[in-house]
Amino acid sequence: MNTNMRSFRFAAWLGWQIESNWTDPFLFAIYSVVKPVASVLILVVMYNIVTGGKTDSPIFAYIYYGNAFYIYVASVMTGVSWAVIDDREHYRTLKYIYVAPLNYPVYLLGRGLARFVTGSISVFITILFGVLFMRLPFDSALVNWPMFFGALLLGIATLTIMGLILAGFTMLIANHVWFVGDAVAGALYLFSGAIFPLDVLPVAVRWLGFVMPLTYWLELLRRALLGTAATAFPTLAHLSNTQLFAILGGITLALGLLSRYIFRSCEHRARERGLLDMTTNY
Amino acid sequence: MGNFRAQTSEASETSEVWHPSRARLFLQTVIARAYPRVIGQQREKSWIFFEIFLPMMAISAYVFIYRAIQAPEDYIGFVIIGGAMTAFWFNVLWSMSSQLYWEKETGNLGLYIMAPNSLMAVLLGMAAGGMLATCLRAAVIIILGSLLFGVQFTVSSFSQLFATFLLAMAALYGMGMLLASLFLLWGREAYHISNLLQEPVYLVSGFYFPVKSLNFWLALGASIIPLTLGLDAMRQLMFASGPTLGFLSVRIEIATLVVLAVFFLLAAKVALDYMERLAIREGRITEMRR
């Protein structure tokens, strides 16, 4: 088994153990269900009290699916960068991981895979809950599955790359390290049109949504799942599916190249400044 | 301080150890534990930026959802007030309930247990120190949110509003003290329990919508969390449409908050005493395990 494969495999297994072994499977299952469902129910209640429960309106599906897939942002992107904090501050194993025969970026990707699995469980449960109890529009015969899986994988790749960039910066930061992932995830939630169309944002900040890859990713997922109903909102209606894929792919490629440079640069500085075995107790 | 030196000097001359009264020790402990929280905030003001900036983004997202579905303007105000109150819930969850668990992780808990002061005073100090900064953050969120989104307040009674806020805080921090001992007993699940108590509590307590919108029995059950009734009463007192969207009358909600405050403070005292006895007898609670 080569170093990359070994790093990835064991990191994924370690990540899964960290995510799931803190309690018994029953409590873990409750934890996996309650949090995402409560999160989406806040939006459902907000929507229902104002509209009187008109869940057949396109905006309901827009909000619901956007919120459901946004779970991946917190789990994959924040999860990859969080692995650095976990290893450095909580388990204090980062220095040992670095002296072990591992490829650290690949190790982080493995940790991200575990978060992807737990995130996927939450996304699945959230959508299932919506279809069963909230009359969320979903017809498996009408779903464009190749487009859905293509967009999903490309989006996960983007989030993982963004996670690596955050992980690089996290290695250099002593204070507020906990907030870095949350701040980026919060900005993406607000500006990428995850839960409301970008037209609602003030004109002065609307452009932020157009430079964020998540905007195009969520639009592709909605189009794959809802078909023509997803085009009810004019923000990205002028772009074809191919154009959306091209924009998302281009941004992902650019971020990928950037992440390689940023991560290596941060890692080098962290080694030089002796930050890998830093324990801040912050 | 001069008086203290005089007394210690006198005590050493007569070969007796000076012991402050229990009340004085309690007060000194509260001040001593509040001090690092207050000073810590002053020494690193960047905390304030993050703790205002992050909730403001979440609040803005909820405001834009209401705008997208063309909700009445008062709902924007409901979100701002609810969003500001999340600062207190965060403070209680992460800086009080989980605090004894963190202290165990860093090895301080054993010192707290051995020291002759009350654990309740330690937690009260944390509450007082944390609340000062949290009040500031909540105030900034309300002011910023109101300015950004043009919220109109129509306060019907300042005295009732002030009383509601104080009672909600007393009950909430009492609950935080109770949770602190429970989290310690739950061991390494504390982090996950704190994490779990965010979105579900935002939902059942009506942080972003009037709690009356929920099923009556669910809202009644959620009233065990002091912020449920505290928020509902404050919204009734601050907005023109508040009374029509209120869950119970403000008087009933204030009376219930009094009961909750007394209950949680007494329950916290019993739980902390139990935990302290357990720590001394079995020595396992202070043991650090990863």
Chain A: closest CA distance from residue B252 (Å): 24
Axis-axis angle for helices B158-186, B73-92 (nearest 10): 40
pLDDT of residue B14: 52
Q: CA-CA distances (angstroms) from residue A280 to A182, B48, B138, B288?
A: 19, 19, 28, 18
Q: Flag if B203 and A41 touch (Cβ within 8 Å).
A: yes
Q: Which residues of A touch B290 (CB under 8 A)?
A: 90-91
Reduced to 3 states, what is the DSSP secondary structure of residue A135?
coil
pLDDT of residue A1: 60
pLDDT of residue B1: 43
**For A195, which of B50, B61, B199 is closest by C-beta distance?**
B61
User: What does the DSSP 8-state code read for residue A90?
Assistant: I
Res B15 pLDDT > 70: no
Q: What is the pLDDT of residues B176-231, one digit of tens each?
A: 989 888 887 776 567 778 888 888 999 999 999 999 999 899 999 999 999 999 99
Residue count (chain A): 282
Q: Which residues of A touch B61 (CB under 8 A)?
A: 189-190, 194-196
- Name the band, by pLDDT with cuts 50, 70 and 90, for residue B37: confident
Chain A: closest CA distance from residue B1 (Å): 31
> Are the CB atoms for B180 and B96 separated by under 8 Å?
yes
Question: B260: closest CA among B252, B248, B271?
Answer: B252
More confident residue, B3 or A251: A251
How many Cβ atoms from other residues are within 10 Å of residue B244's Cβ?
Answer: 11
Res B85 pLDDT > 80: yes
Q: Which residues of B touch A42 (CB under 8 A)?
A: 199, 202-203, 207-209
Res B10 pLDDT > 70: no
Asked if the C-beta of A50 comes within 8 angstroms of chain B's C-beta atoms, the answer is: yes
Q: Which residue of B has its CA nearest to A184?
A: B54
Q: What is the pLDDT of residues B146-159, one digit of tens each?
A: 999 999 899 999 99
Asked if the C-beta of A33 comes within 8 angstroms of chain B's C-beta atoms, the answer is: no
Q: Flag if A183 and B53 touch (Cβ within 8 Å).
A: yes
Q: Which residue of A has its CA nearest to B206?
A: A42
Q: Flag if A47 and B57 touch (Cβ within 8 Å).
A: no
B-contacting residues of A 170-189, CB under 8 Å?
A: 175-176, 179, 182-183, 186-187, 189
**How far, in Å, CA of B230 to CA of B211, rounded?**
11
**How far, in Å, CA of B38 to CA of B51, rounded?**
15
Res B134 pLDDT > 50: yes
Reduced to 3 states, what is the DSSP secondary structure of residue A178?
helix
Q: How many CA atoms lie within 13 A of B137 on its CB side?
A: 27
pLDDT of residue B13: 53
- Each of the 282 residues of chain A gets a pLDDT tens digit; together they read 688 888 889 999 998 888 887 777 777 778 778 888 899 999 999 999 999 888 888 889 999 999 999 999 988 998 888 888 888 888 888 888 888 888 899 999 999 898 899 899 999 999 999 999 998 999 899 899 999 999 999 999 999 999 999 999 988 887 767 777 888 888 888 898 888 888 889 989 899 999 999 999 999 999 999 887 777 777 888 889 999 999 999 999 999 999 999 999 999 998 898 888 777 765
> Are the CB atoms for A282 and A173 separated by under 8 Å?
no
Res B244 pLDDT > 80: yes
Q: How high does pLDDT run on average in chain B?
A: 85
A·B CB contacts under 8 A: 99
Q: Flag if B62 and A59 touch (Cβ within 8 Å).
A: no
pLDDT of residue B286: 62
Through-space distance between the first and last CA atoms of chain A, rounded to whole angstroms: 38
How many Cβ atoms from other residues are within 10 Å of residue A254's Cβ?
Answer: 12
Question: A67: closest CA among B20, B147, B199, B29?
Answer: B199
**How far, in Å, CA of A117 to CA of A120, rounded?**
5
Which run of H or E residues covers position A137?
A: none
Axis-axis angle for helices B250-282, B119-149 (nearest 10): 140
Q: Which of B59, B199, B201 should be substituted to probe chain A, the one whose Cβ sees the most A Cβ atoms within 10 Å?
A: B199
Chain A: closest CA distance from residue B21 (Å): 34
Q: CA-CA distances (angstroms) from residue A150 to A146, A244, B238?
A: 6, 12, 49
Q: What is the pTM of this model?
A: 0.85
Q: Which residue of B has its CA nearest to A178?
A: B50
Res B4 pLDDT > 70: no
> Could you write out the three-class secondary structure of chain B?
CHHHHHHHHHHHHCCCCCCCCHHHHHHHHHHHHHHHHHHHHHHCCHHHHHHHHHHHHHHHHHHHHHHHCCCCHHHHHHHHHHHHHHHHHHHHHHHHHCHHHHHHHHCCHHHHHHCCCCHHHHHHHHHHHHHHHHHHHHHHHHHHHHHHHCCCCCCCCHHHHHHHHHHHHHHHHHHHHHHHHHHHHHHHHHHHHHHHCCHHHHHHCCCCCCHHHCCHHHHHHHCCCHHHHHHHHHHHHHCCCHHHHCCCCHHHHHHHHHHHHHHHHHHHHHHHHHHHHHHHHHCCCCCCCC
Res B9 pLDDT > 60: no
Residue count (chain B): 290
> Are the CB atoms for B199 and A38 separated by under 8 Å?
yes
More confident residue, B102 or B156: B156
Chain A: closest CA distance from residue B199 (Å): 5
Res B31 pLDDT > 90: yes
Q: What percent of chain B has pLDDT over 70?
A: 90
**How far, in Å, CA of A111 to CA of A117, rounded?**
10
Reduced to 3 states, what is the DSSP secondary structure of residue A126?
helix
Using an 8 Å CB-CB cutoff, list residues of chain B that contact chain A: 44, 46-47, 50, 53-54, 57-58, 60-62, 64-72, 75, 106, 188-189, 192, 195-196, 198-200, 202-203, 207-210, 213-214, 290
> Are the CB atoms for A157 and A73 separated by under 8 Å?
no
Q: Which residues of B touch A27 (CB under 8 A)?
A: 189
Q: What is the pLDDT of residues B50-83, one digit of tens each?
A: 778 888 888 999 999 999 999 999 999 999 999 9
Q: Which of A46, A51, A212, A281 should be substituted to probe chain B, the one whose Cβ sees the most B Cβ atoms within 10 Å?
A: A46
Chain B: closest CA distance from residue A39 (Å): 5
Tokens at A106, concatenated: 């690949």
Exposure string of B170-197, with b = 16+ CB inside 10 Å and e = fewer, is bbbbbbbbbbbbbbbeeeebbebbbebb
- Name the band, by pLDDT with cuts 50, 70 and 90, for residue B290: very low
Asked if the C-beta of A264 comes within 8 angstroms of chain B's C-beta atoms, the answer is: no
